[in-house]
Amino acid sequence: MLSLASTFTPIGIIHSCFGEKFGIPRQAGLVPVARATLELLPPCATPEAVRGLNGFSHLWLIFVFHGIPAGQWQPTVRPPRLGGRQRMGVFASRSPFRPNPIGLSAVRLERIAINQGRVTLHLAGVDVLDGTPVLDIKPYLPYADCLPDAAGGFAPQAPELRLTVEFSSAATMFCAAWPDDEWHELIVQVLRQDPRPAYERATVTPQRYGMRLKGMEVHWEIRGETAYVTDINPVPAGSPG
Amino acid sequence: MLSLASTFTPIGIIHSCFGEKFGIPRQAGLVPVARATLELLPPCATPEAVRGLNGFSHLWLIFVFHGIPAGQWQPTVRPPRLGGRQRMGVFASRSPFRPNPIGLSAVRLERIAINQGRVTLHLAGVDVLDGTPVLDIKPYLPYADCLPDAAGGFAPQAPELRLTVEFSSAATMFCAAWPDDEWHELIVQVLRQDPRPAYERATVTPQRYGMRLKGMEVHWEIRGETAYVTDINPVPAGSPG
């Protein structure tokens, strides 16, 4: 067999609101206020490389699922969409556990900041982990990339929003203290997706969860069909990340 | 700086109707009858890996622009769309000359053939060179990937179809001899895109062109606004490819 291995070096690094895998939306665009910046790295960190990109509202990120240990894939996966009970081919899924751990996301380009030779793209609707290495950026071309009549197999629509989200007084006060930071909206948009693994959704005993979001720890409980945000706290000193 | 290079091995190889770079449509979908097969390679060549994929009408190919010598990129490119006269950032274009020569195409999945352990995907609407190494396949998810309101910058619509296509008697007879092979339709769809480099479109002297398509050499002349197909011949013995 031919040896056709290819080696790629990141053209940039993502600084994302998502500090851990748990809680990341399952596709781009599902959480419109999920923000990130993409900082271009040398030799790509030049304003010329993004000339004309600001005319596009969206772009493709092709990136590495760097949080996934190498070689951790199987021919079939259990899509959360199917309740985790049915196995589908890895190539019929967008699971990060793939033969080549490459991700693909269409994200909104909010603006491009150029400052003393640094080039930073401000993005929204992201579904990528903080620190993600990006291999390529391409403009989203509606005429070639938007296929409204495509049949979406076992995932024809966006996942159902199963949960309503409520906040404790403490969590409400926290969000109110940073009105420009969209904390409230971000938490609502993330938690109404119900980040739990499918097999935990069947559990009837009360469950407590936490995730790292914008450098804070957000905690919530599942109470029936409600995600109840109990508290939002600084990450304890000495925690990784 | 962190060293974050990633090495990927192809999961499959494309057998495409396009035997050389010249004439390949500039995006997927522009030539609906452009066909290819994607043969999965071990360890991915297993029916389990594509289970459920047949429910999707389209898929993403993430592939290597293997026809492009490594390191051949500049921060700006001259998109054919702008007549080759204006420079845009490489990340604002889909040019194959990129820091990481990775391609992205949404193609139609016609069927999946499984035969004695070989897994072959039959594809249409392709824009990839014969022999292309594929790094990943993902299902096209309309709810996440189709963004009808996206602003397409300097490429808001499909390129204008500039040319009408006419056939000589010899070329007509050739196409009629293989009625199932869609030769006529394929040549029309490819040539009406006008594969010429932008700078040659301004030339008024008659021009002759040739391209390798489905293992044959197709020749045409540009006569005003018409691409006139003169002949379709076997590739001469001893030619590369």
Torsion (CA) B149, A91, A124, A174 in degrees, nearest 10? 130
Burial of B98 (0-12, 13-18, 19+ CB in 10 A): buried
Do B213 and B124 lie in a common domain? no
* CA gap B115, B109 in Å, rounded: 17
Q: Does the pLDDT value for residue A2 go beyond 60?
A: no
Q: Tell me whether the omega of the peptide bond preceding residue B47 falls within 30 degrees of 0, making it cis.
A: no
CA dist., res. A192 & res. A189, Å (int): 6
A30: nearest Cα among A129, A115, A108: A108
Residues A82 and A135 in one domain: yes
Query: In this structure, what CATH number is given to the domain that contains residue B179?
Result: 3.30.2310
User: Which of the two residues, A240 and B63, has the higher pLDDT score?
Assistant: B63
Cα dist. B15→A148, B12, B18, B21, B41 in Å? 27, 10, 9, 14, 13
Does residue A203 have a pLDDT over 80? Answer: no
- Tell me, what's the pLDDT at A1? 42
Is A239 part of a structural domain of the chain?
no
Between A5, A90, A152, which is nearest B9 by CB? A5
**Structure token pair of residue A17:** 């609101």
Both tokens assigned to B181: 């092979």
A139 & A215 share domain: no
Number of CB pairs, chain A paired with chain B, less than 8 A apart: 265
Q: How far from B135 is each of A64, A91, B61, CA to CA, in Å?
A: 12, 11, 8
Concatenated DSSP letters for A38-82? Answer: EEE-TTS-SGGGGTTGGGBSEEEEEEE-TTSPTT---SEE--GGG
Asked whether the predicted pLDDT for residue A168 surpasses 60, the reply is: yes
ipTM: 0.95
Residue B108 CB: number of other CB atoms within 10 A? 21
Q: Is residue B161 within 8 angstroms of chain A, CB to CB? A: no
Average pLDDT, chain A: 93
For B134, list phi and psi in degrees, rounded to 5. -105, 130
**Co-location of A56 and A122 in the same domain:** yes
Do A141 and A27 share a structural domain? Answer: yes
Q: What residues of B are in contact with residue A59 (Cβ under 8 Å)? A: 91
- Are residues B30 and A144, on separate chains, in Cβ contact within 8 Å? yes
Domain end call among A93, A118, A145 = A145
Flag whether pLDDT at B18 surpasses 70.
yes
With an 8 Å Cβ cutoff, are A153 and B139 in contact? yes
Give tens-digit pLDDT for A23-59: 999 999 999 999 999 999 999 999 999 999 999 999 9
Q: How far is CA A47 from CA A12, A90, A107, A110, A118, in A?
A: 13, 38, 20, 16, 8
Q: Is B137 inside any structural domain? A: yes
Lowest mean pLDDT of A65-69, A207-211, B107-111, B192-196, name the range: A65-69
CATH number of the domain residue B48 falls in: 2.40.30.70
Q: Which residue of A has its CA nearest to B25?
A: A144
pLDDT at A240: 60
DSSP A146: -
CB contact B67 to A (< 8 Å):
no
A68 and A139, same domain (yes or no):
yes
B8 to chain A, minimum CA–CA distance in Å? 5
- Whether A183 is in a domain gets the answer yes
Alpha-carbon separation of residue A111 from A53, A62, A97, A121, A172 (angstroms): 10, 19, 31, 6, 30
Listed in sequence order, the residues at least 6 apart from A118 whose beta carbon sits closer than 8 Å to its beta carbon are A39, A40, A45
Percent of chain B exceeding pLDDT 90 equals: 81
Structure tokens at B232: 């379709």
Q: Establish if A7 belongs to a structural domain.
A: no
Segment B117-146 shows an average pLDDT of 97
Give the long-range contacts of residues A217-220, CB within 8 A, separation 24 or more. Answer: A218/A187, A220/A165, A220/A191
Q: How many domains is chain B built from?
A: 2
In this complex, the residue of B11, B54, B154 whose CB is nearest that of residue A100 is: B11
* A143 neighbors A104 (Cβ within 8 angstroms): no
* pLDDT one-digit tens code per residue, A96-136: 999 999 999 999 999 999 998 899 999 999 999 999 999 99
As a whole number, mean pLDDT of residues B89-99 equals 97
Q: Give the pLDDT score at A86.
A: 93
Specify whether A228 is located in the same domain as A133.
Answer: no
The reply to whether residue A92 touches residue B50, judged by beta carbons under 8 angstroms, is yes
Q: Are A125 and A32 in contact (CB under 8 A)?
A: yes
pLDDT at B67 over 90: no
Which DSSP string do the residues of B126-186 spell out, in sequence order? ---BTTPEEEEEEE--HHHH--TT--BTT--SPPP---EEEE-HHHHHHHHH-GGGTHHHH
Dist CA A60 CA A47 (whole Å) = 18
Domain boundary pick from A145, A175, A193: A145
Q: Is residue B82 part of a domain?
A: no
B33: pLDDT strictly greater than 60 = yes
B176 and B136 assigned to the same domain: no
Span A60-88, pLDDT tens digits: 999 999 988 878 899 999 998 888 889 99
Higher pLDDT, B141 or B237: B141
- Give residue A116's pLDDT: 87
Task: Tell me, yes or no, whether A127 and A214 share the same domain.
Answer: no
Q: Specify whether B140 is located in the same domain as B224.
A: no
Whether residues B171 and B221 share a domain: the answer is yes
> Are B62 and A104 in contact, with CB atoms under 8 Å apart?
yes
Question: Which residue blocks in chain B are alpha helix, DSSP H?
Answer: 142-145, 169-177, 183-191, 198-201
Q: Assess contact for B94 and A138: CB atoms under 8 A.
A: yes
Question: B40 and B128: one domain?
Answer: yes
Q: Would residue B153 count as lying in a domain?
A: no
pLDDT at A3: 57
Does a structural domain hold residue A241? Answer: no
Q: Which of B153, B229, B149 is nearest to B189 (CA)?
A: B229
Does residue A157 sit within a domain?
no
A68 touches B: beta carbon within 8 Å: no
Q: Which domain holds residue B114?
A: 12-66+101-145
Which ranges in chain A belong to alpha helices (H)? 142-145, 169-177, 183-191, 198-201
Q: Which of A100, A115, A145 corresponds to the end of one domain?
A: A145
Closest CA to A215 of A7, A3, A18: A18
Mean pLDDT of the residues in chain B: 93
